[in-house]
Amino acid sequence: MTGLAAGLLLSVPAIAEADGKLPVVATFSILGDLTQHIGGDAIALTTLVGPDSDAHAFEPTAESQRAVAGARVLVANGLGLEPWLDRLIDASTFKGELVEATTGIEPLASTEAEEPAAEGEGAHDHDHGGPDPHAFQDPKLVLTYIDNIAAGLAKAAPESAGAFRKNAEDLKARFRALDTELSASLGSLPSENKRILTSHDAFQYFGRAYGIDFVAVQGMSTEAEPSAQDLKNIVEQIKGGDIKAIFIENMNDPRFVESLAADTGAVVGGDLHSDALSAPGGPAADLLSLYRYNAAELLKVLK
């Protein structure tokens, strides 16, 4: 068992079917946050991949298998974000309601699929293309996540459907207000300051929403490796002044990006939170806070 898997094993409690609560599993921390807000006191929630941990690289354990087996609702992102999910469902013989929170969302294609190039012309060959699963990085698309989760919970526990619906509408109002707030603050950035480098390709939806061009060292998965040509292109862009800052992500090893900044003289911004919340008490302990924290970090450097 890897150190990551061992750590996650300790963070996944068995679902307690106490007080008549609906047993629910969410695959990773961002979905767990949304699901808890919607389900409230009517659910007993287990989140498989906890704060500051990587859902792409998660290795299911016997404990996570038991949690899924005991759940009546399993909330997943879909679009390939959890490559281990089908194996876990099969191993656990899960028979409950599977909610794919991205249902109904038209996904962006990966940057590799959108920008094919001939060999020697800067082709991105470190990922396989396909849909970009990080739709939770656009607050407007989070509204669809909320609707799908609320519908799945209501199907499993119709007696609580009214409460789920009210909680969902309250949460959607907060994300609509957030979107207005971010459009005003990030929209004021000079256009020449809106190209930055991040650890992996998780911010294309956020970039589309607020007019920021994110360049990534890695592809959609944190396990993808950049090619020599990718790195050459990135270094050339940094040295040419096209990339204004480099940001590190909370769930990635920062050493490579820090070395890249040292070699090129690029400005290093703060940590961004991409696929995982921070621990409780941290700056991004829920999804609304994650957005506000990331926006504040970007504004510090790009204004």
CB 217 within 8 A of CB 201: no
Strand partners, 23: 44
**Which residue is listed with tokens 């005003």?**
184
Backbone φ and ψ for 51, nearest 5 degrees, come out as -55, 145
Position 267 scores a pLDDT of 74
CA distance 194 to 4: 34
Cα angle value 112/115/121 (rounded, 5°): 100
Q: Could you list the pLDDT tens digit for every one of the 303 residues in the chain? A: 333 333 333 344 444 455 789 999 999 999 999 999 999 999 999 999 999 999 999 999 999 999 999 999 999 999 999 999 999 999 999 999 999 999 999 999 976 444 433 333 333 333 446 899 999 999 999 999 999 999 999 999 999 999 999 999 999 999 999 999 999 999 888 877 787 888 768 999 999 999 998 887 654 444 455 667 767 777 776 766 577 788 877 555 566 667 777 777 777 777 899 999 999 999 999 999 999 999 999 998 887
Position 111 scores a pLDDT of 62
Domains of the chain: 3-176 (3.40.50.1980), 186-302 (3.40.50.1980)
Position 236 scores a pLDDT of 72
Instruction: List Cβ neighbours of 113 (8 Å cut-off, separation of 6 or more).
Output: 129, 130
CA distance 229 to 273: 27
Position 225 scores a pLDDT of 59
Residue 191 is encoded by which pair of tokens? 């256009």
Position 19 scores a pLDDT of 77
Position 241 scores a pLDDT of 59
Count of C-beta atoms within a 10 Å radius of residue 116: 10
CA distance 132 to 187: 23
CA distance 276 to 287: 9
Count of C-beta atoms within a 10 Å radius of residue 115: 12
* Inter-residue long-range contacts of 210-217, CB under 8 Å, 24+ positions, other chains counted: 210/182, 210/183, 210/186, 211/186, 211/187, 212/186, 212/298, 215/243, 216/111, 217/256, 217/257, 217/260
CA distance 301 to 164: 40
Residue 112 is encoded by which pair of tokens? 């590799």
In degrees to the nearest 10, what's the CA dihedral of 105, 106, 109, 114? -160
Position 55 scores a pLDDT of 93
CB 56 within 8 A of CB 83: yes
Spatial strand order in the sheet of 97-100: 43-49, 22-28, 73-76, 97-100
Q: What value does the CA radius of gyration of the chain take, rounded to a whole number of Å?
A: 20
CB 202 within 8 A of CB 219: no
